[in-house]
Structure 1
């Protein structure tokens, strides 16, 4: 099963959820703010995707950080910052069961989900 991570009121999240629904794909929704995040899980995502990709540096939360904090950001400090401010995580983040897709692109998601399905062994 797919898991979609984000916050419900984000416009991009709404587009992603609508697209998943239109494709008839079942998914669980994990609300960062309501359901929380585990440090180990977040550390793994940052190690896999890079903190520069995971942190939404276009958002107001990032821009409100002191300049010295932004300039000194590392993978380790990003984990702590995102645990404190989960709204600063770029969204959506889709767990396909095989990999993670960060940000919404209908074309990229369709391609990745088609590959995920074709990687499963055929049942005869």
Structure 2
């Protein structure tokens, strides 16, 4: 399991704690400190499309209309914290966020 997030993100901390309690030991990639490879960005976008971009974030609100028109991959390359967090890769599947559906996927069946 690979976990893409931010150390300073409350949702990411809650998710990591819950995953640990469920028996997972994810490889944590801090998108700000560690960065995200172009291959991982491409895989995320291929799997979940523009859902990977957090359009409710402060970063998104501060972008110009011209910047917002870029592809999700271009946006993530320029602004890694624009990623909706956490993004989790496990057993060939990608999930975005930490809503009930994602929690059920990982916490009900480790």
Residue 96 of structure 2 contacts residue 102 of structure 2 at CA under 8 Å; is this kept in 1?
no
Q: Which moved more, 1:104-113 or 1:22-31?
A: 104-113
Give the 5 Å matches for 1:15-94: 15-51=14-50, 53-70=51-68, 72-73=69-70, 77-94=71-88
Q: Give the number of aligned pairs.
A: 109
Q: Secondary structure at the match of 1:90?
A: coil
Residue 5 of structure 1 contacts residue 31 of structure 1 at CA under 8 Å; is this kept in 2?
yes
Aligned to 2:92: 98
TM-score, normalisation: structure 2? 0.86
* Alignment gaps of 5+ in structure 1: 118-124
Query: Which structure has greater helix proportion?
Result: 1
Listed one character per residue, the Cα deviations across residues 105-124 of structure 1 (whole Å, up to 9, x for unaligned) are: 3553333562xx6xxxxxxx
Q: C-alpha root-mean-square deviation of aligned residues, in Å? A: 1.8
* Alignment gaps of 5+ in structure 2: none
TM-score, normalisation: structure 1? 0.77
Shift in CA distance, 28/67, structure 1 to aligned 2, threshold 3 Å: same
Report how far residue 37 of structure 1 moved: 1.4
Report how far residue 100 of structure 1 moved: 1.0
- For 1:4 and 1:50, locate their aligned partners in 2 and report how far apart those are by CA, in whole Å: 18
